[in-house]
Amino acid sequence: MNSTEEAEIFNNPIYPEVESSPELSGLQSLLQRLDKLIKYAISILQAQKKEDGKPEQPPWLQTGELSLEQTSITIPANSLLGWLQKKFNLSIFDWDILIIALAPELDRYYENVYAYLQDNMAQKRPTIDFVLNLLCSNIYEKLLRRQHFTTSAPLIKHRLLHVTSESNNSTLLSHHLILDSQLLRLLLNQPGLEPRLTSCCQLLEPKQFSETLSLKADVQTALKTIVTEDWQKQQPLLLYFQGSDRPGKRGTAQTLAQTLGVDLLIADLGKMLEDKTSFEEKLQLVWREAWFFRHLLYVENFDILYREEYKFLYQAFVTELEKNRGITIIAGVENWRPTATGAKGLITVPFTAPESKQRQVSWRTHLQALEINIEEKELDILSDRFILTQAQIANAVATAYNTTRWQSSTIKSDLDSATGDSEKSQQSFVNLCSAARAQSGHDLAALARKIEAKSTWNDIVLQPNQLRQLQDICKEAEYRNLVHHKWGFADKLSLGKGINVLFSGSPGTGKTMAAEVIAHHLQLDLLKIDLSQIVNKYIGETEKNLNRIFTAATNSNAILLFDEADALFGKRSEVQDARDRYANIQVGYLLQKMEEYEGIGILTTNFRNNIDEAFERRLRFMLDFPLPDVKNRRLIWQKIFPKNAPCSPNLDLEFLAQNFEITGAEIRNIALSAAFLAADDGGMIEMVHLFRAMRREYQKTGKILRDKDLGKYVDLR
């Protein structure tokens, strides 16, 4: 660098507008002090160069002619710098370090100065060596001041300053100093979201949440009061929003932020855990972002930290929670698990599903807005049967509305000419039920198989007693809200508000079809869980699997069909060994979870005798499905063929019913196979096709279709 270039750099005024810039007013005195130190160092270096040429050691090391004491400053306690100084226990020397690191962020002029003083034009950022040379008057002070760059020093410990190196083998003195971007934004009063948090956080402006039914009015008032009081006092407060109503929880947080007049900072723990290595750093950044910029902090998806693989990160979260300096709202589905440290004074705010009356108001409001007309009875069914949040109801109505429009467009001529107003209303109700079912149960998708419930009362053939019991199950579901809530029976029951059912009988006798009929009648989803896949030989694993199912089913609005209950049930009244005792525990746990579940839970078993009497007493309904008698087999044969199936008038269904003791499922399989055989053989279903299909069905179960069984049709074998 020649003398002309030097003159251009060092005669350039530094921040002439600082005086009138309120954003930098707190930094002004520190920057002026830095300028004096730099000018003095430059003058010493230039003088040394003129005398001796390039110096062999730092000639601009202070010799007492200009000491820090001569440029000492006082930071006002009521300023931002004073606040930071108190909160992080910063010394004036720490502030000098920060200002040296900050200066190149304010003006690139400092980059050229630093490069010149470090005799390296590529060295535009300050090093520790540069800082010590500039601020220390002798070698002893330099050694003493190295403590400001250790891991326990305030600047490094609180990550206000980052020390970086281009090489792992470089000395401490050669490390570069970079001011933390979060602190930089605070000092310069720059709004927005910290760039390192954009992948896992979002910043929402204060907004009044439109839905107000997620919490009762008195709870909302209490929340606003306590949050406002603690915010004004700058007093820490922890709130836990518990429940599955995610939109309601987030909306309530938005309303609280609007009450305080601040932005809402939302941190998603699920996204933060995508990179486990940076989780702890991001935790600190999140809390400091809310603290520095006065945001209301909302941490969602907290339940993910309860997983076994995240137990160490859970401890990191609790540790950071101990440092909570403002108001933090944590949101999760599961109940809060108290810890010895980290969450003192936490208040749990439950976000339960709105009551039936509240749901009815919401359904009515959204239906009227879209001019959808349904009967009052149908409105009662929607509000009683589907336990949905306000947001889910709004979504269901909008989906049903568009579905009906789509149907009207695709079959418009048929609807206009053949469909009356009552049928259109019924179609709207069906679409509303379908849309309501689609709003929940997604968490069960990986744990259960959804069965399309197509069977109706006209399809199933049962004895009158079994049929009445199925109808009684439906009636209990229909009048659940009336009996439990309006009549007050729910206040008398701690458990048992749901409907627990046992279907027993041989395979193919109609157990699954009966569940379908119930689901179709009630317009609810039917989810089938294979218990043989849930039971685990390792102690405790079966209970974990069951807990996952019932946790996911809490707001599924579905009928749970537990198939193959024989895998779990056994006659264990006499405990012979540890396995018997554990089997009892598993069965007891399943029944306990079924009692806690407020929907319909159905168990199916092939062997009722395997179930202990003590377990039977905990079930509301027990239905046996015997093999169909002649009369019922005749009805099944008559109903099994669709209207459009080309059946020969010579089909002797009476003969089939009288001579073949088979189940309804076997009759269905035979009819279907015969239809395919007929399709390949001319298109008419004849007795010969039925016998061929029956022989195949017998072979599947190891039975033999004998000639004498065919009677007068022996020639068709």
516 and 368 within one domain:
no
Q: Which residues pair with 300 in a beta bridge?
A: 268
Q: How many CB atoms lie within 10 A of CB 97?
A: 27
**CB distance 628 to 509 below 8 Å:** yes
Question: What span, in angstroms and rounded, lies between the C-alpha atoms of 624 and 606?
Answer: 10
In a domain? residue 537? yes
Handedness of CA 69, 70, 76, 79 (dihedral sign): negative
Cα separations (Å) of 148 from 143, 152, 206, 285, 425?
10, 8, 40, 22, 76
Q: What is the arithmetic mean of pLDDT over 358-371?
A: 88
User: What is the DSSP secondary structure assignment for residue 372, as one 8-state letter?
Assistant: -
160 and 64 within one domain:
yes
Q: What is the arithmetic mean of pLDDT over 239-254?
A: 89
What pLDDT, on a 0 to 100 scale, did the predictor assign at position 717?
A: 65
pTM for the predicted model, two decimal places: 0.70
Domain that holds residue 707: 630-716
Question: What span, in angstroms and rounded, lies between the C-alpha atoms of 557 and 116?
Answer: 72
In a domain? residue 445? no
**CB distance 502 to 605 below 8 Å:** yes
Query: Does residue 58 or residue 6 have the better pLDDT?
Result: 58
What pLDDT, on a 0 to 100 scale, did the predictor assign at position 340?
A: 63
For residue 152, give the 3-state DSSP assignment. Answer: coil
Q: What is the arithmetic mean of pLDDT over 114-125?
A: 88
pLDDT band at 64 (very low <50, low <70, confident <90, very high): very low
The position carrying tokens 């209490």 is 222
Rounded to the nearest 5 percent, the helix, strand and coil shares of the chain are 55, 10, 35
What pLDDT, on a 0 to 100 scale, did the predictor assign at position 12?
A: 34
Question: What span, in angstroms and rounded, lies between the C-alpha atoms of 655 and 670?
Answer: 15
**CB distance 584 to 572 below 8 Å:** yes
163 and 275 within one domain:
no
Question: What span, in angstroms and rounded, lies between the C-alpha atoms of 464 and 438?
Answer: 34
Question: What span, in angstroms and rounded, lies between the C-alpha atoms of 609 and 567?
Answer: 14
What pLDDT, on a 0 to 100 scale, did the predictor assign at position 614?
A: 65
Token pair listed for 351: 């976000």
pLDDT, the chain, mean: 82
Handedness of CA 483, 484, 490, 493 (dihedral sign): positive
In a domain? residue 230? yes
637 and 587 within one domain:
no
In a domain? residue 451? no
Domain count, the chain: 5
Question: 625 φ, ψ to 5°?
Answer: -115, 95
Choice among 90-94, 448-452, 543-547, 581-585 with the minimum mean pLDDT: 581-585
Q: How many CB atoms lie within 10 A of CB 21?
A: 12
pLDDT band at 290 (very low <50, low <70, confident <90, very high): very high
Using only C-alpha atoms, what is the Rg of the chain?
38
392 and 409 within one domain:
yes
Asked if residue 65 has pLDDT above 50, the reply is no
> Among residues 405, 422, 439, which one ends one of the domains?
439
Q: DSSP secondary structure string, 637-703?
A: HHHHS-TTS-B-TT--HHHHHHH----HHHHHHHHHHHHHHHHHTTS-B-HHHHHHHHHHHHHHTT-
**CB distance 195 to 181 below 8 Å:** yes
Query: Does residue 444 or residue 111 have the better pLDDT?
Result: 111
Q: pLDDT tens digits for 632-657?
A: 999 999 999 988 899 988 888 999 89
In a domain? residue 500? yes
Cα separations (Å) of 424 from 196, 365, 409?
54, 20, 13
**CB distance 567 to 531 below 8 Å:** yes
> Among residues 577, 604, 625, which one ends one of the domains?
625
The position carrying tokens 């690139």 is 108
Question: Where is 98: in which H helix or E strand?
Answer: helix 92-106
Cα separations (Å) of 387 from 102, 188, 599?
56, 49, 10
Q: pLDDT tens digits for 431-450?
A: 888 888 888 777 677 778 88
What pLDDT, on a 0 to 100 scale, did the predictor assign at position 146?
A: 93
Q: Among residues of the chain, what percentage have pLDDT more than 90?
A: 27
pLDDT band at 580 (very low <50, low <70, confident <90, very high): low
Q: What is the CATH number of the domain that holds 337?
A: 3.40.50.300
Question: Where is 474: in which H helix or E strand?
Answer: helix 464-478
Q: pLDDT tens digits for 462-519?
A: 888 999 999 999 998 888 878 877 787 777 766 657 888 989 888 888 899 999 999 9
In a domain? residue 459? no
414 and 277 within one domain:
no
Q: In the chain, how long is the greatest CA-to-CA distance? A: 130
67 and 114 within one domain:
yes
265 and 370 within one domain:
no
- Encode burial over 683-713: b for 16+ CB neighbours within 10 A, e otherwise: eebbbbbbbbbbbebbeeeeeebeeeebeeb
User: What is the DSSP secondary structure assignment for residue 163, as one 8-state letter?
Assistant: E
207 and 157 within one domain:
no
547 and 475 within one domain:
yes
What pLDDT, on a 0 to 100 scale, did the predictor assign at position 6?
A: 42
Question: 437 φ, ψ to 5°?
Answer: -65, -35
In a domain? residue 76? yes
54 and 200 within one domain:
no
Query: Does residue 61 or residue 382 have the better pLDDT?
Result: 382
User: What is the DSSP secondary structure assignment for residue 123, as one 8-state letter?
Assistant: -
In a domain? residue 454? no
Asked if residue 404 has pLDDT above 70, the reply is yes
363 and 333 within one domain:
no
What pLDDT, on a 0 to 100 scale, did the predictor assign at position 23?
A: 46
Q: pLDDT tens digits for 607-636?
A: 777 666 767 777 889 889 988 999 999 999
Which residues are within 8 A (CB) of 558 and not within 5 positions of it... i.e. 6 or more apart? 437, 440, 441, 444, 524, 525, 526, 527, 599
> Among residues 572, 601, 625, which one ends one of the domains?
625
Q: Pick the closest to residue 458 from 516, 526, 377, 511 (CA basis).
A: 516
Q: Pick the closest to residue 654 from 634, 669, 632 (CA basis).
A: 634
Q: What is the CATH number of the domain that holds 697?
A: 1.10.8.60
